[in-house]
Amino acid sequence: DTRILTQTTLITPSAPVARERHGWRGKCLQRLVRMGLPVPRSFAISCETVQQIASGRPLPLEELSRIFEGGSGLVSVRPSAMMPEWGGPGTVLNVGINDSLHRVLSDQIGRANADAIYLSFVQSYAIHIARLDPDMFAQEGSGALPDALALYRSEMDEPFPQDPAMQLSEVLRSMARAWEGPTARILREAKGAPAEAPLGLVVQEMALALGPGLCGSGTIQFSDPVTGTPRVTGRFRGQHHGAAVGAGAETLYLTRDERGPSLEEVAPEIFADLVRFGIAARERLREEMQIEFVVTGGQISVLDATRVARSARASVRIAVSLARDGIIQPQEALMRVEPRALADLLHHQVDPRAPRDLLARGINASPGAATGRIVFSAAAAQAADARGEPSILVRRETVPEDIRGMHAAVGVLTERGGTTSHAAVIARGLGRPCIVGASGIRIDARARQLIAGGRTLSEGDEITIDGSSGEVLAGAAALLPPALDDTFTQLLDWADEAGGIAVRANADTPDDAITARRFKAQGIGLCRTEHMFFDAERLPAMREMIFADTPEDRRRALARILPMQRQDFTHLFEIMAGLPVTIRLFDPPLHEFLPHDRDGLRELAESLDLPLSDVTRRVEALSEFNPMLGMRGVRLGITMPEIYDMQARAIFEATIEANRHGSPVVPEIMIPLVSARREVELVKTRVDAVAAAVRNERHADFAYRLGVMVETPRAALRAGEIASHSAFLSFGTNDLTQMTYGLSRDDAGRFMGTYVAQGVFPEDPFHVLDQEGVGELLLTGALRARQQQPEITISVCGEHGGNPESIAFCHEAGFDYVSCSPFRVPVARLAAAQAAI
């Protein structure tokens, strides 16, 4: 006998139904049955059986015919994969209808309803099982049923199957085969399922939503899918007040509503039962559920319960309220929220329910959404800000002069650049929504126009940028406000209790530091001191220093800068109140501080009081073919040591001040772009000398730590000898990725999309740490450093410090902390907790 022994299990409270064997829906229905909810008779068909059915083994019809006994005579078949989100073939309803049942139903619920049931089954059977042309079976209305039956007979050369067991076996076979098909495989793989994931099926007796008395079908859920706040939502489509069978079908509101009748008013006891079922399901299934139900003559049947679909912000509120109600543990609540989702809560968001008028797409460089008028220059953004008008700064790419404009604008959009381009890094720091690398837009600066999506927009036109999705939208889209409420705070407090890797913030300004504190960062892991000079008042002092011809000139310029720096550090120490602060010595790729056009040159000549020709000559002398690999970082510090001397002095003087004023601090001084031990020795000697001088002058003592930023592959490989002079090492994974791949972080945006789409890189390596390559350098460097110096502090302060997968890697590797933009600190805290749980 080649027939399979079907594993068709009647779902009872004690039946051996398991998620691994029958899929999630089978198991979920058993839970509902155990709760005593009125679930129609249901059968679970095991995954193993479904596989056998797919491979063509015949089904025992006698066994299947038993399924139909004693009920309405109609069943539905639903998919039951391991995870609800893996989907499955569409549900087939009304299996079992035939000529004789049609006659019985006509008497019970009226001819029109019986016709509708039969017709819909003939249509779906003809299309999905017999695979006939859907167009042929599109007819509706009176006369459609006999026509469909006749058409089926003539196309198939046999009458429509009348044996319910035969119908069921064909439906099961077609669903089992559909799951094995290539389309279904691709779809489930896209949702994270393995290609070979199994499928179970559920056969359920149908409760009719038609007939005398109150009948209808609906879904109900108890929390708002967008905000997660408790609220009854859903729909009910039915007949009320026992309206004539078939007629009067209408959609009722669930709860009292001015706009029309509601289930709550029409049938308060049914509504109350549904609410009771919902509360019970939430407790027993430990999840916020949507319930699918049918009402037949005033009796409820619960067909199914599924996890409520939810937005990022709803996911936080739902998880926290389940834990607060004692239904799940806080640790489980932590695991239920996608860390990335938190980024959406910190900012405005495009309302997912609102329409989107898409103009273009780019890289989602900084999350949140903003609406403003298009401006093409920093000056225009400032002017708009002065008028109190929100603006979106649209640039090809941004340069340091644009910082003022980025401050003044509510969002930034650039045509070029990648995730670590200037615009992206600055926007994340400012918490401004930003899209970079929107290669589909064209900027006509002269005409002050933006061409996108085949439309031409002018300066002053309103657009919305969604920095979370990377979408540029026309006009003002409906926005939701940030959701930094008590559930958000609660979740993150639980996260900190989980004891994961520490999280610090990259903070350059007092504002950044305040944000870092607000999001409970455990210190500053990277203060990029050159960023302190991007603003309008300070840029000239910085340029004067860069353009100094002699050490004497340079010292004069530095003397102007010293008090500014001291003030900066005093401020940071004050805000951070004793938490560790890591200050990186100057690392300006010089080109970022040079003027980029003739106007800029003239302005510079004016401010330096030098002839234009002189300035032009010096700019040319300083310009490099490859500034990111040029006179940067410690190379600048060694060729012009006065710069680092000044910074060390500013740090130490601020330290003395902080120690006197009650926020004692042990500053951490970090040397950038190191590639050789000797570089560290040279800088260390000078910094120590400055410390000695300051101690002497001020008659005050203080401690400090000196460390190295590991950003070149050579520094990672030579980490052992570098560690012997360092209290800490911090991997600057932005530059380290750039140099490991030989891939410019500022230009990668142009082809990254193609590269990722074609699977050359699994992800943008500037965004998600390349564990295989760059990760190996991190592990090698950390190992060699620790062999030399077991107590050394090791961290990551590149953009990867805010990326959940990269954080898990750092946790695994036993690093001490990660540091990321202040606005990514919440994401990192949750990711750190998840890695530790």
CB 102 within 8 A of CB 119: no
Question: Any contact of residue 797 with ligand PEP (CB under 6 A)?
Answer: yes
507 counts as binding ligand PEP under rule CB under 6 A: no
Active-site entry in 22, 422, 531, 591? 422
Pick between residue 173 and residue 528 the one whose CB is nearest to ligand PEP.
528
Residue 402 · residue 436 · CB < 8 Å: no
- Around Cβ 613, how many Cβ atoms within 10 Å? 10
Which distant-in-sequence residues (6+ apart) come within 8 Å of 2 by Cβ?
57, 58
Closer Cβ to Mg ion, 735 or 770, answer by number? 735
Positions at the binding site for Mg(2+): 711, 735
Asked whether position 818 contacts ligand PEP by CB under 6 A, the answer is: no
Ramachandran region, residue 555 (left: φ > 0; alpha: ψ -120 to 50; beta: rest): alpha
CB atoms within 10 A of CB 661: 11
Site mask, Mg ion, residues 695-724, x = CB under 5 A? ----------------x-------------
Q: Which two tokens stand for residue 428?
A: 């994340």
* The entry of ligand PEP, Mg ion, none that residue 797 binds, CB within 5 to 8 Å by partner kind: ligand PEP
Q: Which two tokens stand for residue 507?
A: 């903070």
DSSP H/E element including 117: helix 111-124
Tell me which H or E stretch contains 788. helix 774-788
| Helix, strand and coil percent figures for the chain, each rounded to 5 | 45, 20, 35
CB-count exposure of residue 249 (10 Å: 0-12, 13-18, 19+): middle
Q: Quote the least distance from Cβ 393 to ligand PEP, whole Å.
A: 21
Per CB under 6 A, which region of 71-79, 133-141, 661-669, 731-739 contacts ligand PEP?
731-739
Q: Does residue 732 bind ligand PEP (CB under 6 A)?
A: yes
79 in contact with Mg ion (CB under 5 A): no
Active-site residue, 699 included: no
Pair 315, 69: CB distance under 8 Å: no
Question: What is the distance in angstroms between the CA of the first residue and the CA of the last residue of the chain?
Answer: 51
Q: Does 734 bind ligand PEP (CB under 6 A)?
A: yes
Residues 524-543 that bind ligand PEP (CB under 6 A): 526, 528
732 lines the binding site for Mg ion (CB under 5 A):
yes
Q: Which two tokens stand for residue 598?
A: 């003739």
735 lies in the site for Mg ion, by CB under 5 A: yes
Q: Least CB distance from residue 736 to Mg ion, whole Å?
A: 8
- Six-digit token pair at 403? 């910082």
Contact 347, 388 (CB under 8 A): no
**Alpha carbons 491 and 659: distance in angstroms, whole number:** 34
Residue 740 binds: one of Mg ion, ligand PEP, none (C-beta under 5 to 8 A by kind): none
Which of residues 349 and 506 has its CB atom nearest to Mg ion in the complex? 506
Nearer to ligand PEP, 479 or 680 (CB): 680
Give me the 582-611 binding string for ligand PEP, x by CB under 6 A, dash otherwise.
Answer: -----x------------------------
Applying CB under 6 A, does 803 fall inside the site for ligand PEP?
Answer: no
Q: Which is nearer to Mg ion, 287 or 711 (CB)?
A: 711
State the residue for tokens 């990760």. 775
**CA quadruple 516, 519, 520, 521: dihedral sign:** negative
Report the nearest approach of ligand PEP to the CB of residue 87 (Å). Answer: 40
> Applying CB under 6 A, which of residues 726, 733, 771, 806 lies at the interface with ligand PEP?
733
Which candidate in 28, 215, 797, 810 is catalytic? 797
102 is a catalytic site residue: no
E-strand ranges in 553-701 read 581-584, 668-671
Which residues are CB-neighbours of 691 under 8 A, at least 6 positions away?
648, 652, 702, 704
From the list 225, 470, 798, 802, which residue makes contact with ligand PEP (rule: CB under 6 A)?
Answer: 798
In the complex, the smallest distance separating the C-beta of residue 587 from ligand PEP, rounded to whole angstroms, is 6
Residues that bind Mg ion (CB under 5 A): 711, 732, 735
Active-site residue set: 422, 797
Residues that bind ligand PEP (CB under 6 A): 526, 528, 587, 711, 732-735, 797-798
